C-alpha cells in the first residue's frame, strides 16, 4: 500500500481543496490511504480509500503533524506540550519538515517525537536530506507526505508499506516498516509553487499560519 500522510483541505486557511475531491484525486493517483492534516483544525473524512484522522499543529517552535488523533490539538503551545496532547489524543507526533526555513523546528528541535517527516513534497532535496540524516542519527521512524495545498501536488511524496487498515499503518510507521518515496521539489517547481503560495498569502493578508 502507498499513502500520502500530509495533505491540506479547505479547512486550512491556505488551501481551497475540497475533502471529497482530495479523496478522488488521491484514488486516481493510485494512493491507498491519505491523511488530511489541516492547520490547527481537526475533521474526520470518509471516502473510497483509508483516511487517517490528522491535524498539522502550529506549536510555538514550528509545525507538528498529529496522526491518528481522536480530537483537535490546540496551537501555540510548546513542542513538549503539543506532543503530550497528541499522545493524550491517541495520536503519534511527527515533526513536520524540520529544516524548512518557515515553520520548521530546526533551531529548537527536541528529541520527543515519535517520527520525523523526512520527505516533504514542498521541500527541496537538501532540506529533506537533512531531515533524513536527523532521523537516522536518532533512530527515529520516517514518514513522507506531499504537504499538498493544491490538487496537483497530491501524491508527490508518499510512504509505502504492507498494511491492511489504519491500525496497521500506525504500527508500520512506529516499527519503521514504511519507505518514504517520491519527488523532492525542483528549482523550477519551487518558483511555480512560491508564486501560487504568495498569491494565496496575499488573499489572506500575508498572515502566518
pLDDT over 60 (residue 206): no
The H or E element containing residue 136 is helix 125-138
In whole angstroms, give the CA distance from residue 59 to residue 39: 11
Give the homologous superfamily in CATH for domain 2-203. Answer: Metal-dependent hydrolases (3.20.20.140)
- Domain residue spans of the chain: 2-203
Q: How confident is the model over 164-202, as pLDDT tens digits?
A: 999 999 999 999 999 999 998 775 666 566 556 666 666
pLDDT over 70 (residue 19): yes
Q: How confident is the model over 45-96, as pLDDT tens digits?
A: 999 999 999 999 999 999 999 999 999 999 999 999 999 999 999 999 999 9
Q: How confident is the model over 113-160, as pLDDT tens digits?
A: 999 999 999 999 999 999 999 999 999 999 999 999 999 999 999 999
pLDDT at 6: 98
In whole angstroms, give the CA distance from residue 152 to residue 129: 23
Query: What share of the chain in percent tops pLDDT 90?
Result: 83
The pTM score is 0.90
Q: Residue 165 CB: number of other CB atoms within 10 A? A: 11
In whole angstroms, give the CA distance from residue 194 to residue 82: 29
Amino acid at each position: 500500500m502507498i499513502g500520502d500522510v500530509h495533505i491540506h483541505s479547505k479547512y486550512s486557511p491556505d488551501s481551497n481543496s475540497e475533502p471529497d475531491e482530495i479523496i478522488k484525486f488521491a484514488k486516481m493517483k493510485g494512493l491507498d490511504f491519505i491523511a488530511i492534516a489541516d492547520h490547527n483544525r481537526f475533521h474526520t473524512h470518509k471516502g473510497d480509500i483509508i483516511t487517517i484522522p490528522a491535524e498539522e499543529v502550529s506549536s510555538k517552535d514550528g509545525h507538528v503533524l498529529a496522526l491518528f488523533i481522536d480530537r483537535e490539538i490546540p496551537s501555540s503551545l510548546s513542542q513538549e506540550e503539543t506532543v503530550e496532547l497528541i499522545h493524550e489524543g491517541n495520536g503519534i507526533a511527527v515533526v513536520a519538515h524540520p529544516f524548512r526555513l518557515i515553520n520548521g523546528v530546526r533551531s529548537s528541535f527536541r528529541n520527543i517525537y515519535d517520527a520525523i517527516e523526512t520527505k516533504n513534497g514542498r521541500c527541496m532535496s537538501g532540506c529533506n536530506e537533512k531531515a533524513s540524516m536527523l532521523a537516522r542519527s536518532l533512530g527515529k521512524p520516517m514518514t513522507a507526505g506531499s504537504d499538498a495545498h493544491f490538487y496537483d501536488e497530491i501524491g508527490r511524496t508518499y510512504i509505502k508499506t504492507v498494511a491492511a487498515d489504519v491500525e496497521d499503518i500506525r504500527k508500520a510507521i512506529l516499527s519503521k516498516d514504511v519507505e518514504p518515496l517520491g519527488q523532492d521539489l525542483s528549482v523550477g517547481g519551487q518558483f511555480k509553487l512560491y508564486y501560487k503560495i504568495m498569491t494565496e498569502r496575499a488573499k489572506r493578508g500575508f498572515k502566518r499560519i
